[in-house]
Structures are given as structure tokens and as C-alpha cells.
A and B are shown apart, each in its own frame.
Chain A
Amino acid sequence: MTARERIAGNVAGYVDDRTGAAKWMKKNLTKVFPDHWSFLLGEICLYSFVILLLSGTFLTFWYDPSMREVVYEGSYEPLQGLEMSAAYASTLDISFEVRGGLLMRQIHHWAALIFMVGIVVHLMRVYFTGAFRKPRETNWVIGVGLLTLGIVEGFLGYSLPDDLLSGTGIRIAEAIIQALPVVGSYLAFFTFGGAFPGVAFIPRIYTVHILLLPGIFLALITVHLMLVWYQKHTQFPGPGRTEKNVVGYPLMPVYMAKAGGFFFIVFGVTAFLGAVASINPIWLYGPYTPGQVSAGSQPDWYMGWLDGLVRMAPPIETVTFGYTISWNILIPGLILPGIMFTALALYPFIESWATGDKREHHLLDRPRNAPTRTAIGAMALTFTLVCLLNGGNDIIATTFDLTINQMMWFSRIGVIVLPPLAYVITKRLCLSLQRADRDLVLHGRETGRLVRMPNGEFTEIHEPISAEKAWLLTSHEQLAPLELPDLDGGGVRRPGAIKNKIRNRISRSMATAVPKATQSERKELEGHH
């Protein structure tokens, strides 16, 4: 036994004597993790969160969360002598006086963007592969929570520098609060400690940004990861992979090395972006004052779709009995986003209700094999994308020489027409991909080689595909639609008849499929040759 082995043995012994952890550790150090590039998306979120914690803590050492007015005397000449909040002045100091401060600010902001992109793409991966199905609904709901809080956290962080651009964003947030029926003006005054902008807002959101929300993030991420660990990762279908097993690499050493390495890669890439790609150059915007605005005001992209929704809202406001309701703010600012996020969070339960499928699933779906789900996803993405585009309508209009008017009507119509169109197209696309899979299994791959038949006709030689490939293309199960009765045994309509009818219809739509190829069919075809 080498000295090193002896030390390792002693440490393990010390820990086990006090916790009895050896058995658990032995089991879990060899835990198997399936490998697929799309499983890295969640890791990107985790690592960029760690980067946010590190870079954010660095920023707290110099950032001064105060709206006290100071006169700027730092080294950035264009702003010297100007009155501004201490928050803005300290952000300028981080950018110009603190060594590496600008780098850290830019790393923090890039990490925030990567964090949000990571969450959205990770969510899409989980959605389109059906990884949210039983038993993983809890993790889906936690994920939607993280997405929502991430949007809030990002918005608050973006507001901290108190520059003209972000102040404008706060003004808009205040208007949304103020628009709430009955309690709006009270809530706005409680949030801002009085009239807008007041002097309380920045210190308050600072506490939320660096303490409250990061704490909640940590708690949610911990539960999320513990569930992944305990329930074991899903895997893509393939030869040798079943609902009852996990095929992959053991935690120690391969997965540890890869995951650890990937953390450094993400951090390295973020540092590279922070070094070369300028982001949020707040010194160009100037300090916030409510009487001014910078042209082309844009939020970060994860807020952009909301901004686009607000921009396309029709100008409707009602006054009843002397009380005002601003539908032009409430609908795009609260009601629609509320419906969208609730539907997103409830999707796993809706789908399992519609299909009647209450079993555990550990093998992922190929998106084409769940055409309705995939089409709903495409529909939601299209909706969000049109909103996002409209959030940049002024910039797009000037770039492509359109009028704002044209852009606005494109979005107002597009947001209603394009999502259903995306649904129909995606569903058809999925079904034709299924048909292509079926043909491939039955007739093999086209080789491009032509032969001349005795009767003079040319046909292309088809080569049978491998057993592995054939299995991959046919291993999914095809659920039969629910056929819930709407009459009971005696022929009387039951109370749930309408509900059953709706459920039957949805489940029939969910079950639309091109029948997958079977071995029997293959044999039959062979018989013909």
C-alpha cells in the first residue's frame, strides 16, 4: 500500500466511523449517468449560476446600493461634475476605477444571459423529449419556477446600476404595478416607499437581488438536483436501453471529470465574452432621470417578449363608476404572461390527463413520435418569437426600412395567425418524418446506385438498415386513444359526458401517428421479392 492509498483509506475511515456513509458513497460514486450533448444544457445553467454567485459577490464589495445624490468625480470625463445616484456612480467606479471591475461586471452580465438561455433551451429539451412525464413532474414545475424567478432576478440586476436605460425599465414596471385594479396605487407606493422613483427602490431590490432570490435559487436548484440524482437521469432510446435500466458512464471518475471540466469550459467562455464583448456600457446612457429617455430603449432579451406584447396591445382603457382599468397594460403585462406561465407549469398534468397515461417513463421520446406535443411547443415558441420581434420593432423597422406601423400590424396579426400555422405545419412535419422512418425500416436506405431491370426500367438499390437503427426507429410505443364512454350501461348520459368527449378528442389528437413498421411487415415484404 502506498502512502497515498493509506491516507485516502484513513480519511474514508474517519468519515465512515462518524456517519456510516461508506455504503451510500460506494453505491453513489459508481452511479451511472447517460451521455448526450443535450444533457449538458442543465449543467450550463448550474455552472453559470455558480459564476453569477462568484462574480456577483465581487461586485457587492464596491457597488453602493443607494439613491443618495452625489456629484461624479471619477475618471470618466464626459460625466464629471454631473449629479447622479451613488448606485450609478459606484457602478461607474467598478467599470473605471476597480482593477478587473469592468471584466467582472461583463462576466456577471454575460453569465446572466447564458443562465437564461441555458434555462430556456434546457426547458425546450425537456419538453420536446417528454422528460417531464411521471415521475419527473415536480422537477418540471421547479424548472418553470427557476425560469420565472430568473426573469425577475435578471430584471432586478439590470436595474441596479440606475442608469437611464434601466431606470426607464423600472418606470415601466411601476406602471404595471400601478395599473392593478383596486390595490395598484397602494402597492406601487409600498414598493417604492412613496412616489416614483423615490429613494428606497434600489436598496430594496438590492436585498432581493443578492440575498432573497439567490437563496431561493439555491434551495430550488438543490431540490432539482437531488431529484435528478434520486430518480436517475432519463435516456434516449437505443439498442440495449430500456425503461428498466440506465446505460452510461459511472460518476467516478468519468462523469466527474467531464462535468468538472465542463464547469471550467463554461467559466472560460464566459470570461472570454467578458474580456472581448462589451455589454451594458452604462456610462453611455447617463444617470437616470424621469424626464429623459434614451432612444431605442431595449430590455435584455428575456424581458423583450413582454415588452413586445405591451407594444402591440390595442389602446383600451375603461372607466366605470369613476374607476380606471388599463386593459392595454393589464392584458399584455400580467394576464397573458400569467396564463402562459401557468399553462407551462401545468403541462405535464394536462398531457397525462389527456392521454390517460399514468405510468413511469424513463426513455425519452423522439419529438416526431409525439407530434401533438411537438406542435404545441412549436406554437408556443412562435408566439413568443413574434412578441420578441415586436419588442425590437423600432430597431427592425429602421434596419429593414419599414414603418413602425407596418411592423405593428405584422405583429398584431402574426401573433394570432402564425402560432396555429406553426402547429399545423409542425404536426404534418412530424407525421411525414414518421412516414420516412417507416419507409426506411421497411425498404432500407437509398444507395444512389441504379440497376436496370430486365424490362428496361431503372430502379434504385435499397440497402437494409442495421438492426440497431431499425430498433431505434421502431422501439417507441404508440398509444391508442382513450375511448371514454359518454353513455353509461343503461344508455343514460352520464354527468361527465362532455368532459369525456373533450378528453377523447384531445387524446385522439395526441395519438395521431403513422403506424410504425413491424417485423411481420418486413417479412411479408421480403416474401414478395
Chain B
Amino acid sequence: MSNEIELIKDPGLPAHVHRRADTDPKAAARAERQVATLFILSALGTVVLVYSYLFVDEDIFFFIPVLGNTNAHQLGLGMGMAIALFCIGAGLIHWAKTLMPDEEVIAQRHEFKSEDEDREDFVKTVKAGAAAAGLGRRPLIKRTLGAALGLSAISPVLLLGDLGPLPGNQLKTTSWKKGTRLVTDPGDRPLRPQDLEVGAVAQTLPEIAPGEHRSLNDIGKDAVLLIRLRPEEFNLDAERLSWTYEGIIAFSKICSHMGCAVALYEQQTKHLLCPCHQSTFDVTRAAKVIFGPSARPLPQLPITIDAEGYLVAQAPFNEPVGPSFWERST
């Protein structure tokens, strides 16, 4: 015996097995009827759709287990369309499977690589073409063309410059100024300290003149959360403590991570939680991050009261609000 290892051989394509419909005319007729039935079902689906469109009122709701309260009009349209389309597909496939030839055929592949001769000819043609254009012989044309093409790319970039204004210091400033009143959102009512019980939270915005409109851009920077604790619960340095008023502390509501609204306050733990990525801030420690991906505390708004006893800002925020950006330096 030789040492040549003998591999298992390819037995070749198995013999074709006929389907019933190939040999039995009755089975073929039955398959034909099945296909036709599917097409008729499809037509019925379209009837359901047309009927729902014309005759089913849009405000009829009824209860279906699992789905809950369902609008009859939409359901009729959708189910009609689904049945119409699905049954066409099912009919076509059933037709292909039962009645069309199911004998597998073999086609040959060819390697994609061309003959060596053709490849060489191709390279020659390209070279000849390039030589005919004479780029190599005329460096002046080559260089000026390259420069012109390169420069022409400036125009679209330049024209796109008007997509937006430059940021300026918009990312660093808000509407809060010394003496701006804090008003409720919604409602626009100014707040006195006594309006806020210990443990309560209020959502506020800077007061605007009557008739003026607050844009979403402003809300996105100005939103402030007021929280009232007992003053002794704070764990702040003297400066930070001076920014609070009778246990009321104000933070930017815009998350220092990626700018979501920090909407959840847990009264027992005195934690603020951002629902987007769960950054958690400790209110008693100047909104220090105690959990999650945010790397900075929430900016604090120094507050006090004005002559009429309403809560106002002592000064703008102590640092830029919202997510970080390159030019931010604190």
C-alpha cells in the first residue's frame, strides 16, 4: 500500500427526486387550486382595506386582548393590506415550489483573473494613453492643473461656512444676571423662600418681561432646579454656603455630562439623577458626581432674595452649563 493519503470522494449531485405534482396530475391540479386560493385571499384583503377606508369611522376603538385598545379604522386598513400582500407572496412561492421545475442545474464558474496577455495589454494601453496626453513631458500643465483642482475644493468648504455663526461666548453664558428673579416653569410665578417646603424641588427659569418669548435655546441653558434642605444638612465650604438661601440651593438642570435634563430627585438620599446615563449628583455636597459617567458637578447658581423677598440670582452661574467643550477651562 502506498503512503498517499486517500481522501473521501465527492459522490456527485444526488439523483433528482420527483415531487408528487410532477407525476400525478391530480396533485398538480390541487397545487394549482391552492395557489389560486391564496390569490383570492389576497383580493379579499384588499376588499377589507377598501371597506375600512370608506365605511369604518376613525374614532371607533375596541378592546383586543394583548393589543389593548385598538382603533378599528387603522386595524382594518393594516390587516387588509397585510393579508393582500402576504397572500400574493405566499401564492407565488407555493407556485414556484410545487409547479415550477425543481431540478437543480449546474453552471460553471470562471476565474475572474484575465489571461496574462490581456493584463499586459491593458497596462500597455494605459501607459500609451498617459504618454499620448503627455503629462510626464509637460510638468507645467501637471502642476498647474493639480493646484487648480486643489484650490477649487475651497469653494464648497467656504460656502458652507454660512451653516452657522461662530460660537463666540454663547456656550459660556446664560440669561442669568445679578438680580434676575427665579420664576416657576411652568407658570412663570416668582418664588418666595416660604413657597418651598423643606424637601421640595422646584423647576425654574429666569424671569422675562411680559410679552417676551422664551426660546428653546434659552431654556436649554437657563433651566434651574431649586431644592430646599435644612441648612445643617449641607456639607459645603463657606463660599458655596453663601450661595444658598435658608437651605435653598440652585443648580443648573442641564446635565454636565451630555446635556439631558437632570430630572429625578431622590428625597431620602438627596441625590439628583440624570435619566440619560444615570450620572448621580449629591445635593448636600454641591452636586458632586457620586456615580455615572459625568466628570463634573452641576454648575451652581448663587441665590439670595430681593427687596420684595423674591428669590433672585446673586450672580451668573459659577461655570459654563451643559456638556464640556474644548475651550472650557474650569
Contacts and interface: CB of A to CB of B under 8 A. Distances in A.
A147 to B, nearest CB: 24
Contacts of B53: 99-100
Contact of A240 (B8, B13, B75, B97): B13
B323 A175 contact: yes
Interface string B211-235: 0000011011101000000000000
A267 B78 contact: no
Interface in A99-129: 99-100, 102-103, 106
A23 interface: no
A518 B75 contact: no
Given A178-B325, A246-B107, A275 B258 contact: no
B275 A297 contact: yes
A465 B216 CA distance: 72
Interface string B239-270: 00000000000000110011111011000000
Interface range on chain B: under 10, 10 to 19, 20 to 34, or 35 or more?
35 or more
Nearest to A521: B5
Interface stretch (A6-14, A250-258, A481-489): A250-258
B108 interface: yes
Interface string A166-189: 001001101110111111111011
Given A239-B14, A291-B261, A254 B325 contact: no
Interface string B279-306: 1000000000101111110000000000
A340 interface: no
Main secondary structure of the interface of B (DSSP, over half): loop
A356 interface: no
B254 to A, nearest CB: 7
A264 B276 contact: no
Contacts of A102: 71, 74
Contacts of B120: none
Contacts of B223: 290-291
Contacts of B111: 360
Interface in B127-174: 160-161, 163-167, 170-171
A359 to B, nearest CB: 10
Contacts of B329: 319, 322-324
27 contacts: A99-B53, A172-B260, A178-B323, A179-B325, A190-B160, A196-B259, A246-B106, A248-B105, A260-B92, A268-B87, A268-B89, A271-B86, A275-B74, A290-B223, A291-B185, A291-B253, A293-B275, A297-B260, A313-B293, A314-B293, A315-B292, A319-B330, A323-B329, A326-B295, A328-B293, A467-B9, A518-B6
Interface of B: 5-14, 53, 58, 67, 70-71, 73-75, 77-79, 81-93, 95-97, 100-102, 104-109, 111-112, 160-161, 163-167, 170-171, 185, 203, 205, 216-217, 219-221, 223, 253-254, 257-261, 263-264, 274-279, 289, 291-296, 322-330
